[in-house]
Amino acid sequence: MIYLIRLLFFATMEQIRINTTEGRSLLIMAGDMSDVGDLLPATGLFIITDSNVRRLYGGSFPPGEVLEIEPGEKSKTLTVAGDLCRRLLEAGADRSAFILGFGGGVVCDVAGMVASIYMRGVRHAFVSTTLLSQVDASIGGKTGVNLGDYKNIIGTFRQPEFVLCDHTMLSTLTEEEFRSGMGELVKHSVIRDRNLFFDIMASVDRILERDPALLGDFISRAVKIKAAVVRRDPLEKGIRRILNFGHTFGHVLETSCRIPHGVAVIQGMLIAAELSVWTGEMPHSEFRMLEVALAETGMVPDYELPANVVNLISRDKKSQAGSLNVVLLRSVGRAVVRRLSLTELAAFVNYYRERKRIVNQ
Ligand SMILES: NC(=O)c1ccc[n+]([C@@H]2O[C@H](COP(=O)([O-])OP(=O)(O)OC[C@H]3O[C@@H](n4cnc5c(N)ncnc54)[C@H](O)[C@@H]3O)[C@@H](O)[C@H]2O)c1
């Protein structure tokens, strides 16, 4: 009876489903983390989290073995993933184990990866605790770790059974981490939904105040965009590539300047928008509108692209035989994927670095 009441309770929350040939995922928006136990098996639960999240929310974890990792990007390595597998084995996890990643994008990427390789795959789900993971990283089934400075070069596709997003947890994020999440929120609007972009721009101050109702509305609109793209292309063979908008340059900035992922993506988006004008894909007026609107939010950083940027990008997994797929804009709200040679990219980078040098003189 209590179980049925609980199920009815979950049914009243906003749910978004991703059903694909590669797996199914239930996304629970505006959930309550303390209810997660009702979605989990009674035994065999292993919770992967980081030390910050455990300190803040460990008291609300459902009963299970807790495996803690250090917070931050440095934990996205094969060594950490291997160590987690070893700890699972030592703790007696068998093929019926259920892994719950409880944390931000780093925890979700690593926990998802471990769940997809441990004993050739065990069940898993996420409680998503950062703005960035609630709008993006926990959704869609991409897992990954880095290899040195190369981001997400090792990974798998595996849909989490569910993702629970409790927006009240966002109140404890640092200002910097919250703004990082804004980067991926804005990205979803820029690639697919012009109205959402203008709505976000008109509400930035209230979003930054973390008004939960408003935040919930924007997160759910962004997640619907991502879910719709993932449903069409779960393995990123085509349309799903547009979700990487801003990431080609963003990953380079993230690694070379050691800045949070979403902060790097914001600058990466503006560089990609400028590339869209340079290639003739988008009118300059659209770029200026985007640039001015983002500048007014105070969210855009201004880091210098390293001199070896093309070399770094050429080893990116989007690059093949001297050319790579780039995500460009035709307008704000409409992204397209185009093939660009590394020679063209190098010419653009020269132009971009020179323009920045003159502007900053
Ligand atoms: N798999 C995907 O599709 C995908 C998409 C986008 C980004 N990503 C990845 O996500 C990662 C970035 O994720 P992130 O920004 O969530 O970083 P993160 O997981 O490192 O979290 C940022 C910081 O916030 C802390 N934290 C987490 N939840 C908190 C809370 N509720 N209150 C206070 N502090 C909290 C963490 O301990 C950490 O120090 C990157 O590695 C990026 O590559 C993956």
Q: Are 248 and 319 in contact (CB under 8 A)?
A: no
Q: Is the CB of 236 under 6 A from ligand 1?
A: no
pLDDT at 5: 53
pLDDT at 358: 86
Residues forming CATH 1.20.1090.10 domain(s) in the chain: 229-359
Q: Is the CB of 182 under 6 A from ligand 1?
A: no
pLDDT at 43: 96
What does the alpha-carbon distance between residue 321 and residue 309 come to, in Å, rounded to a whole number? Answer: 17
- Amino acid in the structure at residue 333: G
Burial class from Cβ neighbours inside 10 Å (0-12, 13-18, 19+) for residue 310 reads buried
How remote is the CA of residue 352 from the centroid of ligand 1, in Å? 30
The CATH T-level fold of domain 2-173 is Rossmann fold (3.40.50)
pLDDT at 10: 58
Q: Is the CB of 316 under 6 A from ligand 1?
A: no
pLDDT at 235: 97
pLDDT at 212: 84
pLDDT at 361: 80
Q: Is the CB of 129 under 6 A from ligand 1?
A: yes
Closest ligand 1 atom to the C-alpha of 109?
Answer: 1
Q: Are 51 and 129 in contact (CB under 8 A)?
A: no
Per-residue tens of pLDDT for the chain, all 361 residues: 554 555 555 556 789 999 999 899 999 999 999 999 999 999 999 999 999 999 999 999 999 999 999 999 999 999 999 999 999 999 999 999 999 999 999 999 999 999 999 999 999 999 999 999 999 999 999 999 999 988 999 999 999 999 999 999 999 999 999 999 999 999 999 999 999 999 999 999 999 999 888 999 999 999 999 999 999 999 999 999 999 999 999 999 999 999 999 999 999 999 999 999 999 999 999 999 999 999 999 999 999 999 899 988 987 766 777 899 999 999 999 999 999 999 999 999 999 999 988 888 8
Give the residue ranges of DSSP H helices in 211-335: 212-232, 247-257, 261-278, 284-297, 309-314
Closest ligand 1 atom to the C-alpha of 106?
Answer: 19
pLDDT at 149: 85
Q: Is the CB of 109 under 6 A from ligand 1?
A: yes
Residues forming CATH 3.40.50.1970 domain(s) in the chain: 2-173
Q: Is the CB of 50 under 6 A from ligand 1?
A: yes
Nearest 5°: phi and psi at 199?
Answer: -65, -40
Beta-ladder partners of 27: 16, 163
pLDDT at 8: 54
Q: Which CATH superfamily is domain 229-359 in?
A: Dehydroquinate synthase-like - alpha domain (1.20.1090.10)
Structure tokens at 11: 């049914």
Q: Are 130 and 167 in contact (CB under 8 A)?
A: no
Beta-ladder partners of 128: 103, 165
Which residues, other chains included, contact 50 with Cβ-Cβ below 8 Å and sequence gap of 6+? 68, 69, 70, 71, 72, 75, 103, 104, 106, 107
